[in-house]
Structure 1
Amino acid sequence: MESWLVIFCICLALGSIIGFMAGLLGIGGGLIAVPALLYFLPNVGVPFEHLPHVAIATSLAAIILTSLSSALAHNKRGNIPWGLFKPMLPGFVVGAICSGFVSKLIDASNLQQAFAFFVVLMALQMAFPIKPSANESMPKAAFLFIAAAVIALIAGLMGIGGGVLLVPFLTWCGLQMRNAVGFAAATGLLIALFGSIGYSLAGWNLTALPQGTFGFIYVPALVGIVITSMLTAPLGAKAATKWPTALLKKIFAGFLAIVGLKLMLT
Structure 2
Amino acid sequence: MAVRKRKTEGRVRALLLALTFSLLIPLVGILGYISWQAWPALSLDFVFQNPRNYMREGGVWAPLVGTFYLVFFSLLAATPIGVLAGVYLNEYARDNWATRLINLCVVNLAGVPSIVHALFGVGAFVHFAGMGRSVLAAAFTLAVMTLPVIITSTREALAAVPMSFREACWNMGASRWQTIRTIVLPNSISGILTGIILQVSRAAGETAPILFTGAVFYVKVADQGFGYYFPYGLGDRCMALSYHLFTISTQVTGVTEAQQYATAAVLIGLVLAVNAVSISFRVYLRSKKKW
- State the TM-score, normalized to the length of structure 1: 0.33
Could you say which structure has the larger radius of gyration?
2
Q: RCO (CA 8 Å, sep 6+): is it higher in 1 or 2?
A: 1
